[in-house]
Amino acid sequence: MALQIPFHKAYTDSREVEALTDVIQSGWLTMGPKTFEFENEFAQKIGCSQAIAVSSCTAALHLALVAAGIGPGDEVIIPAMTFVATAEAVSYTGANVILCDVKKTDATIDPEAIERLISSKTRAIIPVHFGGTVCDMDSIMAIASRHNLTVIEDAAHALPSLCNGSMVGTIGDFTCFSFYATKTLTTGEGGMVTCKNEAAAERIRQLRLHGINKEAWNRYSKGGRWVYDVTETGFKYNMTDVQAALGLVQLAKLDEAADKRRRIAKSYDCAFLDNASLVPYTTEPSVESANHLYVLRLSDEASVNRDTMINHLTNAGIGTSVHYIPLYRFTSFKMRAYNFEDFPNCEWLYQRSLSLPIYPSMTEEETAHVSKSVLGCLQKGGEL
Ligand SMILES: *Cc1c(COP(=O)(O)O)cnc(C)c1O
């Protein structure tokens, strides 16, 4: 039988099943001891002082923006090459989304393009660590400090990623992680904010659960008190202990999973080395990527286009995806009258990119089948 290789498979086994059984039997399902244990372990893993677990990365971004004081009339610069959640979180605050072009080399936000977009209303930048590759954080932090801007990293792809030996999660003012089903650590749905500032962390802790002061979660437990205060209008963005129980198991497997991803990426790199039909993705030597995505880019010399390649791989039983359709191409952004010409690199990337399967449980045989199918398609011009 031909191999069937989906685009993604979650890295779960009996350890997650046991953890879920235990948490259900504990009798406490929503935010409680498991969530706080997960936050502590996560903070330790990243090497940051504050980690706040929430319901998604979208919620994490929203809360970080609120904690940074972003609101109506403000401008927030984000790359156009990202998932729509990055922009939507900005819109929730009433601030204006300012789309920025990315670098051709690694699809991360272009610091020079950021500088050109800064106005008197700019308050924050949200760099997105595309595919796990860390943005040029030295330049971005320097720009932010010159213009007094908050840096909120969208690290949905960057667990665990490093830059100059520092873990993503310890660099900007706030860092937001996703534990969505396809991410490198999953709790089904979930997210985390890390930050250095203790007061900001405390505000996010209250905002994630209706603005209730922090002892409130345990008002139902033994010795808990019924009295609580609501300090400001908050959100229903808390994590649950069911999610956290999954997260703790996934966190313990993080390094092992990252090694497996790295090996798959290396194997693809070897197979595609020096192929004139492909444009290799170049990253800075100081960056260690989480390898959340493996993006293939077809050169102008390639005999096939991206869509033909996707069809060819689908016929070979291989799932693929495209990261991303640039945000200005969506109906909800068209009203804002963006010019495609303002984003030459996003367009260049969008026209020729496709993402190949990369997940820890992929076997060598499966990885080789994907590489062979890609090379076969390039040679035969898409005919099976
Ligand atoms: C997945 C993703 C998000 C949203 O994460 P959720 O946890 O689903 O809210 C945000 N940004 C990027 C770049 C993503 O890939």
Name the residue of 58, 177, 250 whose CB sits within 8 Å of the most ligand 1 atoms, as the mutation to test its pocket.
Answer: 58
Cα(362)–Cα(264) distance, integer angstroms? 8
Q: Is 183 a catalytic residue?
A: yes
Q: What CA–CA distances, in Å, run from 56 to 60, 155, 177, 178, 253?
A: 6, 12, 8, 6, 20
Q: Which helix (H) or strand (E) holds 124?
A: strand 122-125
Average pLDDT of the chain is 95
- Closest approach atom of ligand 1 to CA 58: 9
Proportion of the chain above pLDDT 90, given as a percent: 90
| Distant-in-sequence, close-in-space partners of 41: CB < 8 Å, separation ≥ 6 | 248, 251
Which protein residue has the closest C-alpha to ligand 1 atom 10? 85
The Å distance, Cα 276 to ligand 1 centre, comes to 33
Q: Is residue 15 pLDDT above 90, yes or no?
A: yes
Shortest CA distance to 233 belongs to which of 57, 63, 96, 94? 63
Question: Which of 134-138, 257-261, 283-287, 314-318 has the weakest average pLDDT?
Answer: 283-287
Q: How many CB atoms neighbour CB 340 within 10 A?
A: 13
Cα(32)–Cα(119) distance, integer angstroms? 43
**What pLDDT shows up at residue 239?**
98
The Å distance, Cα 34 to ligand 1 centre, comes to 23
- Closest approach atom of ligand 1 to CA 292: 15
Query: What pLDDT digit, counting tens, does each position of 120-130 carry?
Result: 999 999 999 99
What stretches of 108-231 show up as alpha helix (H) in DSSP?
111-117, 137-147, 198-207
Given pLDDT bands bounded at 50, 70 and 90, which one contains residue 326? very high
This model's pTM is above 0.95: yes
Q: Is residue 213 pLDDT above 90, yes or no?
A: no
Provide mean pLDDT across the span 187-197: 97
Q: Is residue 384 pLDDT above 60, yes or no?
A: no
The Å distance, Cα 340 to ligand 1 centre, comes to 24
Catalytic residue among 34, 45, 103, 183: 183
Cα(329)–Cα(270) distance, integer angstroms? 34
**What pLDDT shows up at residue 51?**
98
Query: What pLDDT digit, counting tens, does each position of 99-115 carry?
Result: 999 999 999 999 999 99
